[in-house]
Structure 1
Amino acid sequence: MVDMVHSMRTFVRVVEAGTFTAVARESNVTTAQVSRAVSLLEDELQTLLLHRTTRHLSVTEAGAKYFERAKLILAELDNATVEARNAMSHAHGRLRVHAAPGLARGAVTAALIAYQARHPDVSVDLEVAQIMPNLVEDGYDVSLVGSMQLPDSAYIAQKLGSSHAVLAASPAYLERHGIPTRAEDLAQHTLLRFSCPGMPLDEWPLEGADGSSIVTVKTSPFQTNVPDAMRYALQSGAGIGVLAAYNAVDDLRSGALVRVLPQWRLRQMNVYALYVSRRYLDAKTRTLVDFLREWLTPALAKFEHEIDLLAQRDIAQQARDNAATPDRSAQQTPSASVQTVH
Structure 2
Amino acid sequence: MDKLYNMSVFTKVVEMGSFTAVANHLSTTVGNISRAVTVLEEGVNARLLQRSTRRLAVTDAGRRFYERCVAILGDVERAEAEAGDALIAPRGVLRVHAVPGLGRQLVARAAMAYRQIYPDVSVDLLLSQRMPNLLEEQLDVGIVIARSLPDSNYVTQKIGVSHCILAASPAYLEQHSAPRSPQDLARHSCVLLSTVDYAPDAWHLEGPEGAFTHCPTGAHLGVNDMDAMATALRDGAGLGLIAGFSAIEDLRKGTLVRVLPGYYTNARNVYALYPSRQFVDAKTKLFVDALKLHVGDQLASYAAELGIAWDEKA
Band of TM-score, shorter chain: over 0.9
1:192–1:220: 8 Å Cα contact kept in structure 2? no
What stretches of structure 1 of length at least 5 have no aligned partner? 310-342
Mean Cα deviation higher: 261-270 or 47-56: 47-56
1:141–1:276: 8 Å Cα contact kept in structure 2? yes
- Aligned counterparts of 1:123 and 1:44: Cα–Cα separation in 2: 42
1:174 maps to amino acid: L
The aligned counterpart of 2:120 is 121
Sequence identity (%): 45
1:72 maps to amino acid: A
For residues 242-296 of structure 1, the C-alpha deviation after alignment (integer angstroms, 9 at most, x for no partner) is 1111111111122111111111111111101111111111111111112212332
Secondary structure of 2:293's counterpart equals: helix
What stretches of structure 2 of length at least 5 have no aligned partner? 309-314
Give the CA deviation at 1:220.
Answer: 4.0
The aligned counterpart of 1:279 is 278
1:213 maps to amino acid: F
Secondary structure of 2:220's counterpart equals: coil
Secondary structure of 1:168's counterpart equals: strand
Give the CA deviation at 1:229.
Answer: 1.4
The residue correspondences of 1:1-342 to structure 2 (distance < 5 A) are 2-308=1-307
Give the CA deviation at 1:92.
Answer: 0.2
Structure 1 length-normalised TM: 0.85
Secondary structure of 1:262's counterpart equals: strand
Secondary structure of 1:138's counterpart equals: coil
- Aligned counterparts of 1:249 and 1:150: Cα–Cα separation in 2: 27
Cα root mean square deviation, aligned: 1.7
Give the CA deviation at 1:223.
Answer: 0.9
Give the CA deviation at 1:80.
Answer: 1.2
Secondary structure of 2:160's counterpart equals: strand
Q: Which has the larger radius of gyration?
A: 1
The number of equivalent residue pairs is 308
2:109–2:294: 8 Å Cα contact kept in structure 1? no
Give the CA deviation at 1:8.
Answer: 0.9
Relative distance call for 1:70 and 1:219 in structure 2 (3 A) is farther
Give the CA deviation at 1:152.
Answer: 3.3
Secondary structure of 2:96's counterpart equals: strand
2:19–2:30: 8 Å Cα contact kept in structure 1? yes
Give the CA deviation at 1:45.
Answer: 4.4
- Aligned counterparts of 1:279 and 1:133: Cα–Cα separation in 2: 20
- Aligned counterparts of 2:72 and 2:104: Cα–Cα separation in 1: 47
Mean Cα deviation higher: 218-227 or 29-38: 29-38
Relative distance call for 1:138 and 1:220 in structure 2 (3 A) is farther
1:136–1:276: 8 Å Cα contact kept in structure 2? yes
Give the CA deviation at 1:230.
Answer: 1.1
Mean Cα deviation higher: 208-217 or 163-172: 208-217
1:227 maps to amino acid: M
Give the CA deviation at 1:36.
Answer: 3.2
For residues 105-137 of structure 1, the C-alpha deviation after alignment (integer angstroms, 9 at most, x for no partner) is 322111111111111111111112222322122
1:63 maps to amino acid: G
1:289 maps to amino acid: V
The aligned counterpart of 2:312 is none
Give the CA deviation at 1:46.
Answer: 4.7
Secondary structure of 1:308's counterpart equals: coil
Give the CA deviation at 1:195.
Answer: 1.3
1:80 maps to amino acid: A
- Aligned counterparts of 1:224 and 1:288: Cα–Cα separation in 2: 30
